[in-house]
Copies of this chain bind each other. A is one copy, B any other.
């Protein structure tokens, strides 16, 4: 039972545990860290004392003395964007046996302390860092801390470890899926940022190769549902005969669907719609949005693996890999006019 002894002002320390178990503090430390060469009798005594005292080791003292925190930090842009949840899931799976602790911070979390996530993690002395947000220009240039960039391509020095989705390929695959359904007048709703640009380039290349006209809207707009809705509305004015819309992410696909509905166009009856990221949103039974899975869980696995390697060998050559995305077909895409006629 975790019962706190009555008279104690402050929390029990390793010293209290040692005294209660009738051993030295060193022995307690050994038991805590699972050292093999400890007699069963002593180990049991220590464990019992720990339990009785409700003792919890101080991570602060441990990391100060041990020169490492056994923790890794994950810097994300914002908690709203759910792709990092899958990334974490993958990381956890890989980190399972290692004893590493994971902490997450977004850009805003401690902005009141004038701390960007990286500075915060540096103060925390994390053993490694996962950069799961777009780094500012130059911030990675001489970061003397083991790190790997996850899911970003912009502002990443060539010497950085990097695990990301192949967004260009994803753009090609999405467009290919629509072409395969018989669509020809396929428009793309893009937005600002490096990731959107890559997805867009995949779309453009595939359309050109197929001999169809490239129609892109939303350059420099935010990658939000609202902006995508506006872009799509403008698109429908200029190109009323599009039969498919590929949006740069799932939320933007929702925006496109809202604009289509406003015009009285059915999905997928009149127009097929695709998103990107395969968020939980897309998987919703109600929405059933066809999307591109960027395999963020697998990205998490690879990211953790890469970071572990980097921590154990800081001078290893940079490791870079792109994960192949996958189209997840649901209910918002259907055969286009060409396929429908015969």
Contact = CB atoms under 8 A, between A and B. Distances in A.
Given A4-B144, A286-B258, A92 B109 contact: yes
A285 interface: yes
A79 B82 CA distance: 8
Contacts of A69: 60
B120 A101 contact: yes
A108 B92 contact: yes
A101 B88 CA distance: 22
Given A96-B112, A108-B92, A109-B88, A142 B59 contact: no
Interface stretch (A122-130, A174-182, A293-301): A122-130
B225 A286 contact: yes
Nearest to A74: B109
A229 B285 CA distance: 9
B80 A280 contact: yes
Interface string A42-65: 000000000000001111110110
Given A60-B64, A125-B58, A285-B229, A102 B110 contact: yes
A99 B113 contact: yes
Query: Which range holds the interface residue count of chain A?
Result: 35 or more
Contacts of A101: 110, 113, 115, 120
Contacts of A229: 285
Interface string A90-107: 001001110101111100
A123 B56 contact: yes
A101 B144 CA distance: 23
Contacts of A56: 119, 122-123
Contact of A281 (B58, B226, B281): B281
27 contacts: A10-B67, A56-B122, A57-B123, A58-B123, A58-B125, A59-B124, A60-B60, A60-B63, A60-B64, A60-B69, A60-B125, A79-B85, A80-B82, A80-B85, A80-B280, A82-B82, A96-B112, A101-B113, A102-B109, A103-B103, A229-B285, A254-B284, A254-B285, A254-B286, A255-B286, A258-B284, A261-B286
Given A92-B111, A254-B287, 7 more contacts: A59-B124, A60-B61, A99-B113, A225-B285, A226-B285, A251-B284, A254-B286
